[in-house]
Amino acid sequence: MKELSIPARLYLISINILGALILILHLNFRFVLNPGFLIFIALLGGVLHTFKVEGSTNRSHFTTSFIVFGFILVLSGNPDFFIVIVVANLVQWILNPPPAWYIQPFNIGCYLIAAQVAHTTYTTINPSGDLTSPLTIVAIITSATSFTLLNHFIIGVILWLARGESFKQSGAFGITPMLIDLTMLSLGASLAIVWKYNPYALFLFLIPLYPFYKTLKIPSLERKTETDPKTNLFNHGYFMAQLKHELIRANRYDRPLSVIMADLDLLRNINNTYGHLAGDDVLKGIAGILKETVRQYDVVARFGGEEFAILMPEATMEQAFQRAELIRQAIESHSFSIPTSIEPIKVTMSLGVAAREDFEQTGEEIIHNADTALYRSKVRGRNQVFSYTQVQADEATNISSPQTYPVGETSTAEEKYLASSAKYLTPSEADLNSKTEKSTNPKPQEGYAVNSSHPNTHHIASYKVYLYITAVAAVAIFTAILGYNFQRPSLPQTPIEWTGLAMLILLTILAESFSINLYVGNTSISTTAAPLVAGFILFGPLGTIVCSTAYAVTTAIKFRSPLNRFVFNLSNHIIAGMLVNLMVITSGVFLQNWNVGTQLLYTLTASITTYFLTTILISLGMGIDLKQSPFDIWKEQYRWMAIYYIGIGFISYSLIFGYQHADLLGVIFVAVPLILLRFSQAQYVGHTREVVTKLRKKNQELEKSTNEIHELSEGLLTTLSEIIDLRDPHVLGHSKQVSKYATQIATELNLSKKQIEIIRKAGLLHDIGKLGIPMELLTKPSSLSSAEYEVIKKHTSLGGDLIKSTPSLRPLAQIIRQHHERHDGKGYPDKIAGSQIHLEARIVAVADAIEAMSSDRPYRRALKPEKIHEELTKNSGTQFDPLVVTAAVKMLDKMYEEEVSSAYPDGQAKTKAKLIAETQTP
C-alpha cells in the first residue's frame, strides 16, 4: 500500500472496516438454506468469479458470478447472501491471486457494502418476500440497480484516488458494463423465482449461459477494433467517426470544435540509430504524454505512423493552440528510456491546429487545414505549433516565402534540421534528472449550463468550489436526516405506494432524458421539475431522495457529468425537496385534508422555493469559480425562469391532483399532455434553430464580405499612400511612418478606438494634396522661392477638398487640412490656433515632424533621439500642442528602451543616454 497516496489508503481502509462491520452484523449463523447447498452455491460463485472476461477497457472485466449473487439475494437473503459473496471472493483470491494483497480485501468490502444496500432496498420494497407480488419485480430491479451503481461508484472513487483517473477515464460509469452487471443480477434473481416453482426448470435457463458468456466478450472486441494495438490510443477509423459525430453536434448548436494534428519529428532517425523497438517505445511514451495533457473528453488517436490526431469538442482555435503548446513543451522536456541506449533520449513534435469555421465545412476539410498548419511547422524548423489562421495570415502577407540561409549553411529547413537532429536524439546531462511536467488541464471557458427546469454546473475549476460542493453535500445529508427524524404526521398512517413513486421516477427520467437543447449556448429546456416537485410533496423525504437521485443519475449519464457535478446536482435538489417537506411539517396539517385552492397555493410555493434555492446555490458556486458577483450571475442567467417555474407549479399540481383522485391512471392522463408539450417544444425549437442557423450563416457571409471589403479598403489606402510618397522620392515610406507615430501617440493619450482608427487613416493620407502639386516643385533640389513655397502650402487645402467628396473618408478632411496649423496660430492654411485645431490634426502634425526629423534628407542626416526631444520641447506651446508633445516624448522613450533592450539582451549596465547614442547614427 506504500505506493498509494494517503487519501487512497484511508479510503481503502475505511471500505474494509465498513465491510467487516456489515459481515459481523449478519453472522448470526441462522442460515436460510441447507448448509450443504449453501456451500455448493458459494463455491460455484467462487469459480465463476475466477473466470473473468475482459471488458471495454484493459483494466475492466466481467464475471458471471453476479448471476449467483442475484439468485441468492432473492432466494434466501441474510446471512446467506453475505456468506456467498465472501466465500466467492476468497475462492477467487486463492485460485487467481491479485498482484497486490490489499486488492481482494477491498473488493470484498466493496461487494459487502453494495450487498447491504441492495438487501435493504429489496426488503424495504418487498418485506414479505412474496415472489408473486408485482412489488417483487420493482424490488428486484431497484435492488439490482442500487448494487450496480454503488459497486461502480466505490471502484471509481478508488481509481480516482489511486490513479488520478476521472470516472470517464476509468469507465466506472460506462453504460455497457453497468447494463451487463444489472442484467446478470436480474437473471440470477429470475432464476430464484423459477427455483421456487420448479428447481428442475433451472436446466432450461442454464442452456443460454454459454452464449451469454460469449456475449460478454463483445465490449472487449469492440474496443480492440477501435484502438491502435501499439499505443492503445484510438485508431483512425474511430477518430473519423467521432469527428463526424461531434461536427454534426457542433453545427446543430453552433459550438466550437478544433482538431490538432501532431507529427513526431524524425522518427526514422530514432529507428535507424537505436532500432525499431526503440521507436515503438518512444511512440508508446508519446501516447502516454498525449493522454495526460489533453482534457478528459478529448479524443486522442494514432492517425498513422508517427502522426497523431486530437479531437477537441467545445474548444476554440485559441484554446486548442494553447493545449498544443502544452503538449509540445511536455514532449520536449521528457526523456525517454529505451533498452538500446544507456542514457535517455529526447524527441520533439510538430503540431498544427485548425478549427471549425462554418456550417458547410466537412471533417476532412478541418483535418486538411490542421495538416496544412502541421506542414508549416515542419517547414519552419519543427518542434513548433502553427494554427491554420497563422498560415492564412502568412499567405495573405507573403510571409510564407522560402527562408534563405547564409552561405555555407544548409539550404532547406529540412536539411538544416537534419543536420542538427543529433542534439535531439542524444541525452542531455542537464535533462537526465528532469521529469515530465504534467499539465494542469486548464478548462476552457465553457461557463455553466443553463437548463430551464434544472440548472446545473458545467464545470468546476478551483479548490474553493470543491469545498463549496462539499459543504452543500453536508447540508444535504443533514437535511435528509432531519427530514426523516421529523416525518410528516400523515406518513406513518399512509404506507408508501411504490407504484406511484416508481411512476414519478419514470417521468423524471424520461423528462430529463428527452430535454431539448436550444440553439444558443449550453441551454436546454424540459419539464423535469414538474415530477420532481410532485415527488417532493406526495412522498416526503423518501420521494425527495429517490426522485433527486433519479434526476442526478440521468443528468450524469446524458451529459457525461464528472463526479463533482453529480454530487452537486443531487445535493442541491435534496436540500430543496427537504425544505419543501419542512414547510408541510411546520404547517401541522395533512396534505389530504387541504382544499384544492390550498393545495394549489402550496404546490406553487413549493415550485418557486425549488426554483430560488437551486438557482441561488448554483449562482453562489459560479460566483466562487468565476470570481464574479453571484447576484449578477443569477440575475443574468436565472431570473427569467421565475415565470417558467410558476407554470411548472401548475403542472406539478396536475400530477398530484390526478394521482390523488385516479391513482396511476390520473398520472398517465397528465403525462400525455406533457409528452405532447415536449413534441411541440421540439418542433418549435427545431424550426427556430433552423431559422437561427440560416441567419448565422448569412451573418457569417456578411461578415466575410465585410472583412473582404475592409481588406480591400486597407489595400487601397496603403497603395494610395505609397503613390503619394512616390511623388517625392526622398520621402519613400513617409506616410506609413507618420501613421504609425500618430497611432502610438493617440494610444498614449488613451483616445477611443474610433479616434485612433481615424488618426491612423489620416496619417496615411495626410499628404494626399501633393498629388495636385507640380512634380518639379516637389523634386526641386535647390531652395524654393516664396511663390513656390506658397504653392506647396496649398497641398493641405487641396487634400481636404479631395477627401471631402468621399463619404467614407469625409471624417479625415479637416485633419488633412489642418495638419500644418500651429498651436500659436502662425500655421496654414487657415491660421487657427489652440483648441480651434482638431486634436487629431495636432497629433498628425507632431507625428509628421518626428518622422521628418528621424529620417535622412538630401540636405541633412537624421537627428539623434536627444535632438528630436530637444526640438519637440523647444517648440511645445508654439508650433505644437504641449499635451501632444508630452505623449510623443513618452512614446519615443518607450521605443528607444525597446531598441536598447533588444540590442543588449544580456542586461549589460549602460546609461540610457549612452545606449541611445550607440543605437543612433549622427
- Give the pLDDT of residue 219: 58
- Give the pLDDT of residue 411: 34
- Give the pLDDT of residue 366: 94
Q: Which residues pair with 385 in a beta bridge?
A: 351
Compute the distance between CA of residue 9 and CA of residue 30 in angstroms, rounded to an integer: 35
Q: Which residues of 64-102 are buried (b: 16+ CB within 10 A; e: fewer)?
A: bbbbbbbbbbbbbbbbbbbbbbbbbbebbbeeeeeeeee
Compute the distance between CA of residue 497 and CA of residue 508 in angstroms, rounded to an integer: 17
pLDDT > 90 fraction of the chain, expressed in percent and rounded: 15
Residue 70 contacts residue 185 (beta carbons within 8 Å): yes
- Give the pLDDT of residue 394: 65
Instruction: Name residue 20's amino acid.
Output: A
Q: Which residues pair with 30 in a beta bridge?
A: none
Q: How many C-beta atoms surround the C-beta of residue 252 within 10 A?
A: 14
Overall pTM surpassing 0.85 (yes/no): no
Q: Which residues pair with 434 in a beta bridge?
A: none
Low-confidence ranges of the chain (pLDDT < 70): 1-3, 27-34, 51-62, 78, 99, 169, 201-203, 205-225, 393-463, 486-496, 516-525, 584-594, 674, 676-690, 692-693, 696, 727-732, 856-860, 899-922
- Give the pLDDT of residue 733: 78
Compute the distance between CA of residue 201 and CA of residue 203 in angstroms, rounded to an integer: 5
- Give the pLDDT of residue 225: 62
Backbone angles phi, psi at 56, to 5 degrees: -75, -15
Residue closest to 248 by CA, chosen among 693, 830, 829: 693
Compute the distance between CA of residue 621 and CA of residue 191 in angstroms, rounded to an integer: 48
Residue 45 contacts residue 88 (beta carbons within 8 Å): yes
Residue closest to 526 by CA, chosen among 515, 538, 541, 539: 515
Residues whose CB falls within 8 Å of the CB of residue 57, separated by 6 or more in sequence, listed in order = 170, 171, 223
Q: How many C-beta atoms surround the C-beta of residue 367 within 10 A?
A: 20
Residue 186 contacts residue 70 (beta carbons within 8 Å): yes
The C-alpha R_g of the chain, in whole angstroms, comes to 38
Compute the distance between CA of residue 389 and CA of residue 387 in angstroms, rounded to an integer: 5
Q: In this predicted model, what pLDDT tens digit does every residue of 572-613 receive, in sequence order? A: 889 988 888 887 666 654 455 567 777 888 888 888 989 899
- Give the pLDDT of residue 438: 31
Q: Which three cell numbers stand for residue 490?
A: 400523515
- Cα distances from 198 to residues 41, 42, 717, in angstroms, run 18, 21, 94
Q: Which three cell numbers stand for residue 589?
A: 396539517
- Give the pLDDT of residue 646: 87
Composition of the chain by helix, strand, coil, percent to 5: 65, 5, 25
Compute the distance between CA of residue 531 and CA of residue 504 in angstroms, rounded to an integer: 6
Task: Give first-to-last CA distance, the chain, whole Å.
Answer: 75
Q: Which residues of 535-555 are buried (b: 16+ CB within 10 A; e: fewer)?
A: bbbbbbbbbbbbbbbbbbbbb
- Give the pLDDT of residue 489: 46
Q: Which three cell numbers stand for residue 861?
A: 542626416
- Give the pLDDT of residue 373: 92
Residue 346 contacts residue 431 (beta carbons within 8 Å): yes
- Give the pLDDT of residue 700: 72
Q: In this predicted model, what pLDDT tens digit does every residue of 394-441 receive, in sequence order? A: 655 443 333 333 333 333 333 333 333 332 332 222 222 232 333 333
Residue 793 contacts residue 820 (beta carbons within 8 Å): yes
- Give the pLDDT of residue 659: 81
